[in-house]
Structures are given as C-alpha cells and as structure tokens.
Structure 1
Amino acid sequence: MLKKSVFTFFILAVTVVAALVGSSIYTLYSKKRLTVDPKVKEISGIEFDKYKRLWAINDSGDKPKLYRLNQDGSIAKEILVTNAKNIDWEDMTQNTFGHFFLGDFGNNKNDRKWLTIYKIENPIDIKGDTTEAEIIKFTYPEMDGTPIEPDKRNFDLEAFVAFGRHLYLFTKNRTEPFDGITNVYKVGDHAANFDAELIDSFQTCTTLEKLCWITSAALSPDRTKLVLLDSTSIWLFENFKEDKFFSGDVSRIDLGIVTQKEAVTFYDDNTIVFTDEEFKGIGGNAYVIKLDEVEKKVIRKASN
C-alpha cells in the first residue's frame, strides 16, 4: 500500500511539473512573431527607425554593424560604423530626435575602466552602408583601479535608455552573493568623457541571478513607460516623476520559460517587442506583447 501511494504521488508530481513547464513554454512561444536570421544569433539590442523598421545589433565578436530585419527575420541591410569597435555591444536605444545609441559597455568581469557609447543618426538618414559615430566615454567613479570585491560586482551593464539630454544606464548585477539590485547611472548624451552619476536602484529578486538580472531596457515613445528585461520577465514602470523611474507604479509581466532574452524595445506606446539569443537550438526569435492584453502582476503602487 505504501509503495502504491508513493508511486501515485510521484506520478501526480510529474504530471504537475509537466503541466507547469508546458504552460511556461506556451506563455513565451504564443508571443513569437519571427525567427531572426542566424547571422544575428547573438542579438543584444533592437530598435525601430522612423519608418518602423526593426534594427538589431550583435553581442561581442561581431563587426561593429547594425542589421535591418525584414518582417520574416531575414536581413535587409547592414550598416558598418567605421570608427567603432564591438568589444561587447549590449544594448541599443534612441532619443526623441531619432539618434541611435549603441552601448559597448558589457563588463562581465567588472574590470573595464572606461566604457563606450556610439551615437549615430537615425538609419533612414544613412544613404550608404557605412557611417561614423559620435563617441561618448564614461567611467564609474566607484572603480578606483583595485579589484572589485565579490559583493560589490555591480558594474556590468547591458541596458540603457535616452531620456531628455541624458542616458540612463541599468547595471547587470553580478554580486556574490546575488542581491538582485540594478543600479541606475546617468551620463550625458553627447561626445565627452563622463563620470557616471549613481542616481537610484531597484531590486528584482534574490533567488538566482540568471532569472532576474537586467539585460535590456526601453522607454515608450511618449516617455511615460519604462521596461526592464530579464530572462523570465518584463518589469514595467509607470507614473514616475521626471527621471525617478522607480518612483511610480511597478508591475511584472511573466514571459514564460527561461531563455537568453537580451533585447527589448517599444513599437508604439502599447506594443513591446523583445528577442532572445539562439542557444543550442533554443531561442533566436522576436516576440510581441501588447500592454492592454497581457496579465500584469502589481508589485507596488505609488503613494499619492
């Protein structure tokens, strides 16, 4: 009788787990819109140009290029930034004028002292297949040249947005033990050398870094919504005051199973597009959600 009870419990547990996994897979893949060309399999940043065409960049190892994608995910055009290097391109954003910013600021080992952002014109204004960038450099004042202690390793970076005349950088937390805090730094949006100014922070989770470290960010075209991306979620911030992005309402949108989600942007004020990198045959897709259709878990409501 005992063995039969144990077996029944085991079958029930397997059934429940299978149902949860199946539901999680559906949650993600029901949002899939296209598979990205394998040439951009390490997609790390996306943005729409003024004609609402999707552009993408690759992570480290590729040439300093932007790729325009067709609606089926194939590559329509490539643009080379002739005075740039792709040491570790990690995100792409644009300001209200349409300038694109390319973030070469990946810092996995927390040992890069100076980091780079390339500023170019909107791709629709680039007539050929090359362009030159305005170069923005920045450093973290907290990095004094000595090795960073494990519990202070919060100087990796994969996410930023343009707001007003500044760029806002959201760190990818690599602390040991993991404390789940993304720090927000502020630099100017023009060619100069900047000391990044720490202005705020937000805690996602403390369970496991690969579930909730921040890998991309985006602002809605009307500049009223901020989203941060991690491997399982989109964090939505609304009703914030000026550049205090975490001062308003906070919600979490479940994206289903863990994949290497690395890029997010807004198509319009209600529509979000995000992508994941291809890894061992999984991912390499673009997905779409509409904010007025998805379930949002309220994490915090702003006080009046």
Structure 2
Amino acid sequence: MKKYFLSLLVIGLLFSCTNYGQLTFVTKLPKKLDENSGILHLNDSTVWFIQDGGNSDELYQVGLDGSLLNELKVKNGKNVDWEDLAKDEKGNVYIGDFGNNDSDRKDLVIYKVPNPEIEKGDKIDAQKIKFRYPDQKKFPPKNKKEQFDAEALFYKKGYLFIITKNRTHPFTGKARIYKVPAKKGKYKAVYVGEFTTCMEEASCRVTAATISDDGKTIVLLGEGKLWIFSNFSGDDFSKGTMKTIDLKATSQLEAVCFLNEHTLLISDEERSNTGRNLYSFNLK
C-alpha cells in the first residue's frame, strides 16, 4: 500500500511539473527528435526539424500527427551545433550551425539546401555560408562579452539574420542582430543592432526566430517567452514595436515557425520526462 501511494505521488509530481501554459498541445514528436532545435513549415500538412549538436546530420519531415515521414542526410553538412532553420521565397532551406556556448568557435556556418519537399533521394546537397562576427576579437572573450552564441535565424530579402543568445556574466539581457548574404561564400557578418529582451536570465535568452510570409511580423522565442516585432522598417526590426508574451510554460522551448498568418508552431526538447512535444499558439 505504501509503495502504491509513493507511485501515485511520483506520477502526480510529474504531471504537476508539466505546464503548457498558453500553448496548445498538438502532438508528441518522434523519439528521434528528443533534442529538436529547429522547426520549419513548408506545406500545410508537415513540418521539418533538425536536432541539436552531436546528433545526426539530417533533416526530419514530420506530420502534424507526430508521424516521422522522411529523413534526409545533409551532404557536406556536419552537425557541430545545429540550432535553427529558415526558408526563402524559393523554398531553399537554411540550417544555422552556429551554436557556440563558450563563444570559442571559428567555424560558424549556415548550410543552404534546396527545397527538401521535392528531394527524391535520401540525401540532399548543401552549400556553405561561412561567417564570423565582426566585433569578436578573442576566442573565447571575457565573461562580460560572451555574446557570440546564437540559436535564432530567419531570412529576409536576400539576407540571413542571426540573433544572439546572451551568455554574459553578469547577465545583461541584450540580444544582438547580425546579417549575412544568403548565398555561398565566406563573410564578415554585418552588425545590425541590439535590444534588451528582459532581465530574467532563465527565460530571457533567445532560442529561435521566425518571420511571417509577408515579412511584417518577426517572432523570437525564449524559454517561456515570445517577443513579437511589428511596425518596423529596414534591417533593425528592434526599432519597431516589441510585444512580450509570457507563455507561462515550464519546458525547454527550442523552436518556432509560422503555420499561417496568425498561428505559430512551437516545440521543446525532452527533459526530465517532459517535452518532445509540438504546440500551437494563436497570435490573436
């Protein structure tokens, strides 16, 4: 009897620690995506995922019912620390291999692959967009300048925009915006601007980014928050209107994309028997 009550207590604690907040549960993701780090929507019925660093060099196609539909090996695309996905108007897909927890990497790259929806084989060719940050002088820099990690990427008008994940000590809440051309080459990224998300270190680091098809709304994701930008002009979207939404979710949110004009898809990693889920959020 005592063991029975202990089991009930453990189960109760697990469910009490799972809080979707304002997110709507859509489906459980395949077991292969326990460390999913980027999501991309290309058609009405499926989404594409990548895994975090140390996992396979593959793109995964998943149905909105959670079924694993396809796996594509990315040729010439080693997964050092894949963190986000983006797309352009032609359907090309961009894989951000710029995870840089210690700000010591000199091999930052974004892989460009053709539209995976029309790929007939099990492999897909990648072109390399290599880049470096113009203001990083030391690898790694001092603690107060650890601002060269990134997990967020989107495409806009021929350029890829990278938003950094703040790891400064002490934490400053600032995120920087850089851009590089969306074509094969080796570049010094252009510094665009910076802004402050918020000052709660646990939830104020940017973990993903997405842009609406009309280019008028940019959404950044944190572990529990959304930052929505509108009414901007030019490259520095932070000069527009920023709205912060507390999702009141407690899982490790890692990826976001637009499903349609008003709906976001958001996913999380598996952590302590929670996560590895796909959620939706209505911007209205």
Report the TM-score, using the length of structure 2 for normalisation. Answer: 0.91
Structure 2 residue identity aligned to 1:217: A
Q: Which residue of 2 aligns with 1:298?
A: none
Gaps of 5+ in 1: 1-20, 293-304
If asked which structure has higher relative contact order (CA below 8 Å, sep 6+), I would say 2
**What is the match of residue 122 of structure 1?**
115
Q: Which residue of 2 aligns with 1:93?
A: 86
- Residue of 233, 242, 248 corresponding to 2:234: 242
Residue 112 (1) aligns with residue 120 (2): no
Aligned amino acid, residue 99 of structure 1: N
Distance 2:254 2:188 in 1: 26
1:157-172 to 2 correspondences below 5 Å: 157-172=150-165
CA displacement at 1:211 relative to structure 2: 1.1
Q: How far 1:220 moved relative to its partner?
A: 0.6
Secondary structure at the residue paired with 1:241?
coil
Segments ≥4 residues shifted beyond 3 Å: 21-24
Instruction: State the percentage of identical aligned residues.
Output: 38
Structure number with the higher helix fraction is 1
Segment drifting more, 68-77 vs 188-197:
68-77
Residue 283 in structure 1 maps to residue 270 in structure 2? no
1:218 equivalenced with 2:210 (yes/no)? yes
Alignment CA distance shift 1:256-1:24 (3 Å): farther
- Secondary structure of the residue aligned to 2:169 is coil
Aligned amino acid, residue 62 of structure 2: L
**Which residue in the other structure is 1:302 paired with?**
none
Cα distance between partner residues in 2 of 1:24 and 1:255: 13
The equivalent position to 1:256 in structure 2, one of 226, 245, 248, is: 248
Deviation at 1:121, TM superposition (A): 1.0
Is 1:36 the counterpart of 2:29? The answer is yes
Partner of 2:69: 76
CA change 1:69–1:240 in 2 (3 A) is same
Indicate which of 157, 164, 181 corresponds to 2:174.
181
- Find the residue that maps to 1:109 and give its secondary structure: coil
Secondary structure of 2:49's aligned partner = strand
1:204 alignment partner AA = T
Q: Which residue of 1 aligns with 2:258?
A: 266
* 1:295 alignment counterpart: none
Aligned with residue 21 of structure 2, among 27, 40, 56: 27
1:10 alignment counterpart: none
The Cα of 1:257 is off from its aligned counterpart by: 2.8
Cα deviation, residue 204, structure 1: 1.0
- The answer as to whether partners of 1:43 and 1:276 remain within 8 angstroms in 2 is yes
Distance 2:250 2:155 in 1: 28
2-structure distance, mates of 1:79, 1:238? 35
Partner SS for 1:151: helix
* The structure with more radius of gyration: 1
State the 1:85 CA deviation: 0.1
Could you tell me whether the CA contact under 8 Å between 1:118 and 1:135 is conserved in 2? Answer: yes
Aligned partners of 2:89, 2:76: CA distance in 1, in Å? 24
**8 Å Cα contact 1:276/1:283 also seen in 2:** yes
- State the shift of 1:25 in Å: 2.4
User: What's the Cα RMSD here?
Assistant: 1.7
The count of aligned residue pairs is 270
* Structure 2: 5+ residue stretches without partners: 1-14
Contact kept? 1:113, 1:145, Cα under 8 Å? no
Give the corresponding residue for 2:41. Answer: 48
Aligned equivalent of 1:155, options 148, 151, 155: 148
